[in-house]
Amino acid sequence: MARTLRLLRYGALGLGAVAALLPFYYMLIGALQKKRDTSLGGLLPDPSNLTLANLSGIDDSFSLTTALLNSLIMTAGVVACTLVFGLLAGYALAILHFRGRGLVFALVLLVQAVPFQLLMIPLYVMVVRYFHLADSYAGMILPFAINSVAVLIFRQYFLQIPREIFDAARMDGASELRILRSVAVPLVRPAILTAMLVTFIGPWNEFLWPFLITKNPDMQPLAVSLANFSQSNSTFQANPMGAVLAGACVLAVPAVVLFLLFQRHFTSSNLGSAIKG
């Protein structure tokens, strides 16, 4: 009885893993195929039908390096803003006493409940028409520049640090800015890694917002370029499916590798609504 149960359990777990990973295997094998082979035999690697040409084939439609660079700039901008503003706000909420602190903390919680589909159109109108930020990195970064989850991560971390440390520095006559720079920031380093991992994936994978505000192909991040590429019927490609899947691999690999490297940091308490796309 216990044996059957264990067999059943591992059977279910194995089946789940196959279902989760099979599309990724197909992504890889499809990206390497010289000629599209949709038959079941095509699922197995056939040495005579393998090539890396699909990757360069993308460049006929859009510049892979430009798109990657745009993705990188957008992601780096979002992560940098999230870390700086998240750390400042988290520190203030945990350590400092000031008027309106309760209100700010309530905002942090409330903001997470506002659904993006409600903001999509008005935000688009504001950013494109009033701020004139269409086709710009600033426009891409703006809606993600502050992440409430990052604020909460930093706040939680600062709450665990004995408050006497900050009071002592203050008694020694250190200015508030000095305390922040020389005491708070060095102490909170481990939280910076967590916040970085949690915020990296969102902007890297984000499609809808950059798709809305970038019409210039030279400004589009990879997710948008790739989506446009797979929508256009690129029949002039030797293997259009291979080219799209090769692009998908390029988009997928950084996030997956980062996740596998820092797996233990991806815990349920850290994630929440931080990951979109």
Task: Kindly identify the residues of this chain, within the stretch 189-248, that bind another protein according to CB under 8 A.
Answer: 201, 204-205, 207-208, 212, 223, 226-227, 230-231, 241, 244-245, 247-248
- Long-range CB contact pairs, 153-156, < 8 A, 24+: 153/86, 153/90, 153/191, 153/194, 153/195, 153/198, 153/270, 154/86, 154/87, 154/89, 154/90, 154/91, 154/94, 154/188, 154/191, 154/195, 155/89, 155/90, 155/91, 155/93, 155/94, 155/108, 156/90, 156/94
Contacts of 122 (CB under 8 A, 6+ apart): none
Nearest approach, Cβ of 178 to another protein (angstroms)? 11
Of the listed pieces 44-52, 59-67, 72-80, 167-175, which binds another protein according to CB under 8 A? 167-175
Residue whose entry in the numeric block shows the structure tokens 């039908």: 49
Residue span binding another protein (CB under 8 A) among the ranges 49-57, 60-68, 72-80, 182-190? 182-190
Q: What is d(CA 105, CA 152) in angstroms, rounded to the nearest whole number?
A: 9
Largest CA distance in the chain: 74
> Nearest distance from residue 236's CB to another protein, in Å?
18
Lay out the site mask for another protein across 94-133 (x = CB under 8 A, - = otherwise). Answer: --xxxxxxxxxxxxx--x--xxxxxxxxxxxxx--x----
**C-beta of 235 vs 267, nearer to another protein:** 267
- List 140, 151, 153, 195, residue binding another protein (CB under 8 A): 151
Pick from 26, 182, 193, 232: which binds another protein (CB under 8 A)?
26
| Nearest-approach distance from CB 243 to another protein, in angstroms | 10
Complex with another protein: residue 51 or 150, whichever CB lies closer: 150
- Using the minimum distance from each CB to another protein, give the nearer residue, 32 or 245: 245
Nearer to another protein, 48 or 117 (CB): 117
| Spatial CA neighbour of 230 closest among 219, 251, 244, 211 | 244
Q: Which of 32, 58, 78, 249 binds another protein (CB under 8 A)?
A: 249
Q: Does 42 bind another protein (CB under 8 A)?
A: yes
Helix or strand or coil: residue 50?
strand
Whole-angstrom distance, CA of residue 85 vs CA of residue 73? 18
Q: Which is nearer to another protein, 47 or 115 (CB)?
A: 115
